[in-house]
Structure 1
Amino acid sequence: MTIASVDRTIRLIKTGAAAGSTCSPDLAAGPWEFDSGTPGYGPGSSMGDVLPTGSPRQGALPERYRLATTEELGERIRAAKETLGDRVVVLGHFYQRDEVLQHADFVGDSFQLAQATKSRPDAEAIIFCGVHFMAETADLLSTPDQAVILPNLAAGCSMADMADIDSVTDCWEQLEDLYGTEPDADGRVPVIPVTYMNSSAALKAFCGEHGGIVCTSSNAETVLEWAFARGRRVLFFPDQHLGRNTAKAMGIPLEHMPMWNPRKPLGGSTADELGDAEVILWHGFCSVHKRFTVDQITAARLEHPDVRVIVHPECPMAVVDAADEYGSTDYIKKAIEAAPAGSTFAIGTEINLVQRLAAEHPEHTIFCLDPVICPCSTMYRIHSGYLAWVLEALVGTAEQPAEVVNRITVDQKVAGHARVALERMLAARPPAALPAGSTSSTGTGA
C-alpha cells in the first residue's frame, strides 16, 4: 500500500489514528456494502445526488474477495495478469484508488484512456477502472472482438446522469420550434449540440446524428469554434461549468449563456433570451468540483502567500476566476512536474489525484483546496476486490471455466452515430498549450 492511499487515510481518520475529516463515515466501508442496499451513488461527493431509476446495479461480490486483505488482493491481481499476459489490458483513471491504479497498464484522464483503448487492438479484454461512460466509450472505440469490462457496474457518474436522452430530445424539439431548422445565408444551422465526454453513449449518438460533436476539457474551445463555424449557437451539455468557463474565455457574454433546466418550459428562459443565446448551458454539474469555493482559495492564500492555485474547469466560474490557472487533470499533473522545487500548490480536483501527486512530489507542498476528504463517489466504487474478481474470472479454474463478467456493450443502433461524434472529437486539435504558470489554461483531457 502506498502512502498516497486515500482509502488508508480515511480509515486512519475514522479510527482516530490520524487528524482530518471526511464527508461520510461510510467511506471507510467496502463498496460492496452498498451494492445491494438502497440505490444510490454511494458515499462521497455524489451521495446527495439522485440516482436515475433503472441505473446499473452490481451483484454480490464473492466473499473471498470481500474478506481478503489489500496485500492478498494485490498478489491475486498480479498473478492473474501474469497468466493472462497480452490478452488483457487494464486502464485506470487518475481518480482511482492507489490500490487499483498500481495495477493499470495505462493511467490517464478520460480522453487519454479513450486513445489508449485504440492502442491495444490485439487484447481480448479491456478492463476499465473508471466509470460507466468511460467503459461505453472504450467499447465504441475498441474492435468488435474485444470485451470491455467495468469491475463494478455501480460505478456511474452523477453528472452524466443529469442529462438523459429523453430530456435532451425534448429540449431539442422545443429549440427547433423556436429557431426553425433552416440554415442561414452562410449555411449555418440554428443550433449545434455539443456533449462533454462525461455523458452516455446515447447522448454522444444524439450529437452524431444531429451534426454535433463530443468535447473534452482540453479541446472545449476548439470544439466550440468548430460548432460556431456550422451553427449560430450551441446547446452544451451536461456540465454547465465547463461550458460557461470555456465560452467566457472566448469572449461570449454571460447574458448570452442562458441555462436550460429540463424541468421548466423553454428551460426556464424566455423566447427573447433564447433568441439572443450563443451557448445554451444544461443544468448539470460535477459534484466533486462543485465542492470547491472562493473562500477555500482565500484561506489557502492567507496560509501560503506564495501558493499556486490550479483548479479543474468543471469548478464554478467564481472559483476558476479566483484561481491562478485552470486545466484538466493531465494539465495539473504536468504543471506540478514542471515546477521548480519548493513550489506550493493548492489543487481543486479529486482527492485521489491530489494526494497521489503530493506523495510523488515531496519536493513540493501540495494540498487539496477542500480540507474535507470527499472522493468521487462512483470512482470510489471500484476496489481492488472487484478488479481481482473480473481478472480471475477471465483466467478461470478447473471447476469454473473462464468467463467475461460485467461486460459493457453499446447497442449498435446507438454506436454508429456515437462513433461519428467521437471521431469528430478525436480530430479536433486544441491549440498549443500555454506555458506552465500562465493563467486560464487548459490541458489535455477530461
Structure 2
Amino acid sequence: MTSVDTTIRRITNGEAPGDVCTTDLREAPWTFDVGIPSYGPGSSMFDAIPQSSPLQGEIPLEYREASADELHRRILAAKEILGDRVLMLGHFYQRDEVVQYADYVGDSFQLAVKAKASPSAEAIVFCGVHFMAETADLLSTPEQAVILPNLAAGCSMADMADIDSVEAAWEQLEGLYGDMEAKDADGLVPVIPVTYMNSAADLKGFCGRHGGIVCTSSNAETVLEWAFARGRRVLFFPDQHLGRNTAKAMGVPLERMPMWNPRKAFGGNDAEALDEAKVILWNGFCSVHKRFTVDQIARARAEYPDVRVIVHPECPMPVVDAADSSGSTDFIVKAIQAAPAGSTFAIGTEINLVQRLAAEYPQHTIFCLDSVVCPCSTMYRIHPGYIAWALEALIGTADRPGEVLNRITVTDDVAEPARLALERMLAAKPNHTVSV
C-alpha cells in the first residue's frame, strides 16, 4: 500500500505524476511548530488561525533526526513496555504512518466512546486533533491522562466558532426573542443551541448550560429532531454545511436557514429573517470538504458511468445534492464494506481515509473526487516522531521518572455542562414525527 505521505513525496520529487496543493507537505510537521501559530500545509493552510492557538514547540533533536525505521522500532518497543497502561487512538484521517500504531481507529465520536470504555488505561494517546482529545478527557476518568502528541494539531472549523462570539450571538438573539428559557404556548423555548462534535469543550459547555446538545455527522438528524421538540428554532455551530444539509433533508426550507456572520450585528440578518428562522447557521466550514465540487462529480461520472458517489455531509449543499449519498466517515466505510465486488466509488472526504480504503478493498475501484492531494492540515501535524517522544516520556529512564507530556484537560466548570450536552446526545433517539 502506498501511503498519502509517500504519494506526496513521490509527486513533489518528480517521481510520480499528480498534483499536491503545496510542496510544503513534504516537510516534517515540526518545521511549522515554532514561531507564530499556523494550521500548517494542507487544506486549512489559508484559514485564519486565532493567535491564542497553542504552539507545540520544538521536540528533542533525537526524534526530529531519527529515521522512519528507528522511530518504528522505538514506538513498538515503548508500546511493548507500557502494555495496557496506554491506549492509542487513531482517527480515520490520520496518515498511515500513524494509524499503524493505533489500538483502535474510528471517527471522533467512536474514539471518544472508546476512551470512555477503557477506564483501566492510565494514559490515552489521542492521534487526532485538539477538540477530540478534549472530548476524550470529558468522557474518561479523572485519573486518566489524555495526551495529544502535537499541541498544534487543532481544527480550523472548530476555531471558526469561539465561546466569546457564540455568547455575543446568544445575547443578541436574547434581545430579539426575549427570555431564552420562557416557553411559548406550544411548550417551546425560543432557541436551542446545537454544537457539532467538532468544537471546543467550552462550546459544548455553553450548550449544556443553555438547554442544548451536541451532534455528530452520523446523528445530526436525530439531534435536530430532539432540538425541534424543545425549541422554536436552532442555533447550529460551527459547521454551516452539516446543519444546512441535515435540515434540508428534514424538509426545512432554505429561506428559513439564515447564516450568522459573527462579525456583523445580528449575524448580518434583519429581525424578520431571524423571527422566521428554523435553523440559524453559523458561518463555519471544513476546509477539507469545501474542496469538493459538482464539476468533480461530473468528471467522475463521465469517466466511470457506474460510479457511486458518496460525500461527507460537511460538503457544500450542491455537492451533497449531486452525490448519490452522503454520510459520516463510518457510513462511507460501511457502504464500501457492503458493496458487491467490482463496485466503483468516488469519495468526497479526506484523502488518507480514501486511499486507505482503496488499499483495503482492492476488489473495488475507489478514488478521491479531488485529484489534487491535499490532506487535513491539522491531522497531518501528528507524526511518529511525536508519538515516540510522548511514549518514551511515559516510560522514563533510570535518571528520570516517567512523565505525561501534552496532557489535555478540561476544567471542571466547563466539563460539567459539556458532559450534560454529550449525555443528552447519547440519550436522544430517532423520532421522525417532529414537525419542521
Does TM, scored on the shorter chain, surpass 0.5?
Answer: yes
Q: Could you tell me how far 1:37 is from its partner in structure 2? A: 3.3
Alpha-carbon separation, structure 1, partners of 2:429 and 2:124: 26
Alpha-carbon separation, structure 1, partners of 2:123 and 2:431: 34
Change (3 A) 1:352 1:430: farther
Alpha-carbon separation, structure 2, partners of 1:102 and 1:427: 33
Question: Paired residue for 1:208?
Answer: 208
1:133 to 122, 131, 134: 131
Alpha-carbon separation, structure 1, partners of 2:300 and 2:174: 47
Alpha-carbon separation, structure 2, partners of 1:281 and 1:251: 16
Question: Paired residue for 1:436?
Answer: none
Q: Could you tell me how far 1:103 is from its partner in structure 2? A: 0.6
8 Å Cα contact 1:213-1:421 kept in structure 2: yes
Structure 2-normalised TM-score?
Answer: 0.97
2:168 to 170, 190, 200: 170
2:59 to 61, 72, 77: 61
Alpha-carbon separation, structure 1, partners of 2:141 and 2:260: 37
Q: Could you tell me how far 1:5 is from its partner in structure 2? A: 1.1
Alpha-carbon separation, structure 1, partners of 2:158 and 2:406: 20
- What amino acid does structure 2 have at the position aligned with 1:287? S
Q: Could you tell me how far 1:431 is from its partner in structure 2? A: 7.8
Alpha-carbon separation, structure 2, partners of 1:428 and 1:228: 12
Change (3 A) 1:111 1:296: same
The answer on 1:391 being equivalent to 2:391 is yes
Q: Could you tell me how far 1:262 is from its partner in structure 2? A: 0.3
Q: Could you tell me how far 1:422 is from its partner in structure 2? A: 0.8
Question: Paired residue for 2:27?
Answer: 29
For residues 116-195 of structure 1, the aligned pairs below 5 Å read 116-181=114-179, 182-195=182-195
Alpha-carbon separation, structure 2, partners of 1:131 and 1:431: 32
8 Å Cα contact 2:104-2:111 kept in structure 1: yes
8 Å Cα contact 1:219-1:428 kept in structure 2: no
For residues 371-390 of structure 1, the aligned pairs below 5 Å read 371-390=371-390
Alpha-carbon separation, structure 1, partners of 2:91 and 2:22: 23
For residues 35-74 of structure 1, the aligned pairs below 5 Å read 35-74=33-72
8 Å Cα contact 2:37-2:54 kept in structure 1: no
State, as a whole percentage, how many aligned pairs show the same letter.
76
After TM superposition, the structure 1 stretch with the greater mean CA deviation from structure 2, 55-64 or 284-293, is 55-64
Question: Paired residue for 2:73?
Answer: 75
- What amino acid does structure 1 have at the position aligned with 2:118? R
* SS of residue matched to 1:92: strand
Question: Paired residue for 1:86?
Answer: 84
Q: How many residues align?
A: 430
Structure 1-normalised TM-score?
Answer: 0.95
Query: What RMSD, in angstroms, separates the aligned Cα atoms of the two structures?
Result: 1.0
Question: Paired residue for 2:284?
Answer: 284
Cα deviations across residues 9-58 of structure 1 (Å, max 9, x unaligned)? 10011111111110010000000000013421000000000110211110
Question: Paired residue for 1:243?
Answer: 243
Alpha-carbon separation, structure 2, partners of 1:309 and 1:106: 27
* SS of residue matched to 1:345: strand
Alpha-carbon separation, structure 2, partners of 1:293 and 1:304: 17
* SS of residue matched to 2:124: strand
* SS of residue matched to 1:232: strand
2:11 to 3, 6, 13: 13
8 Å Cα contact 2:205-2:419 kept in structure 1: yes
8 Å Cα contact 1:236-1:282 kept in structure 2: yes
Question: Paired residue for 2:255?
Answer: 255
* SS of residue matched to 2:204: helix
For residues 423-438 of structure 1, the aligned pairs below 5 Å read 423-430=423-430
Unaligned runs of 5+ in 2: none
Alpha-carbon separation, structure 2, partners of 1:38 and 1:172: 31
8 Å Cα contact 2:241-2:315 kept in structure 1: yes
- What amino acid does structure 2 have at the position aligned with 1:394? L
Alpha-carbon separation, structure 2, partners of 1:314 and 1:430: 21
Question: Paired residue for 1:107?
Answer: 105
Alpha-carbon separation, structure 1, partners of 2:431 and 2:233: 22
Alpha-carbon separation, structure 1, partners of 2:14 and 2:427: 51
Cα deviations across residues 218-240 of structure 1 (Å, max 9, x unaligned)? 11010001001110000000000
Q: Structure 1 segments of 4 or more deviating over 3 A? A: 429-432
Change (3 A) 1:393 1:430: farther
8 Å Cα contact 2:193-2:236 kept in structure 1: yes
Question: Paired residue for 1:303?
Answer: 303
Question: Paired residue for 2:328?
Answer: 328
Q: Could you tell me how far 1:290 is from its partner in structure 2? A: 0.2
Q: Could you tell me how far 1:335 is from its partner in structure 2? A: 0.5
